[in-house]
Structure 1
Amino acid sequence: MNIEEFRDYCLNKKGVTEAFPFDESTLVFKVLGKMFALSGLNQKPAAVNLKCDPERAIELREEYDGIITAGYHMSKKHWNTILLESRLSNKILEELIDHSYNLVVSGLSKKLRETL
């Protein structure tokens, strides 16, 4: 998956917006105002940060050593950095995006979840 495909997949989810809140090269995706994915657009190789359950994050880092690492400039417990154009299949990457999105949605207030 390349960065454009990643962007399209994120934007097709309900309630998602994109913005550059930190600088002009860090693209952030939010669901109802809460961040679930981000990517440095000038980063080579292309990589994204996704929120992850802490136990699953450790398992993924072990299984995909060098492709999935502790979140760069993020909480190492709750975020992973994933190399986009790697041996990781689009299906797995989509599952990780969905997992990140769902974690954030589950943490929203009942009222906000109902707006989705």
Structure 2
Amino acid sequence: MDGAGLRGICLGLPGTFEDFPFGPETSVFKVRARAGQAKMFALANLDADPLHISLKCEPELALQLRAAHPEITGAYHLNKTHWNGVLCGSGLPDGMIRDMIEDSYDLVVAGLPRRDQEALGWAGLSREGA
């Protein structure tokens, strides 16, 4: 998985956009909520080598993923209870990274008001345990 692939997955989710609140090197992917509000679900320096992405995760699942995969750690500079750092291109299957991005998006959208969820066409968490 490379930076362009990560960007494409993130921007392919309904209502998402890329922002740069931490400077031009850090892409922050957000989902739009009510007028003027947006919630972050992923961030990465897409030009970094090695490439890492930070993703929101349920706390219990985050611990399980970290125990099973050395490529997944607590996210740097974020609440490690709720955010994982994922090393891309290091053996994790692209499909697994895509699933973690979608899970992160689902967690954020699940916290939005119902009218915002409906505006996004979101029908609920896509996978059990997400």
Q: SS at the partner of 1:29?
A: strand
Say if 2:69 is the partner of 1:64.
yes
C-alpha contact (below 8 Å) 1:3/1:84 kept by paired residues: no
Unaligned runs of 5+ in 1: none
Q: Paired residue for 1:34?
A: 39
How many residue pairs get aligned? The number is 115
Q: Work out the CA distance in 1 between the residues paired with 2:24 and 2:11.
A: 19
Q: SS at the partner of 1:81?
A: strand
Which residue identity does 1:74 align to in structure 2? L
Q: Paired residue for 1:99?
A: 103
- TM-score, length-scaled by structure 2: 0.85
Q: CA RMSD in A?
A: 0.9
Q: Paired residue for 2:82?
A: 78
- TM-score, length-scaled by structure 1: 0.95
Q: Paired residue for 2:13?
A: 13
The percent identity for this pair of structures is 43
Unaligned runs of 5+ in 2: 33-37, 121-130
Deviation digits for residues 18-37 of structure 1 (CA, Å, limit 9, x no counterpart): 01011111100001110000
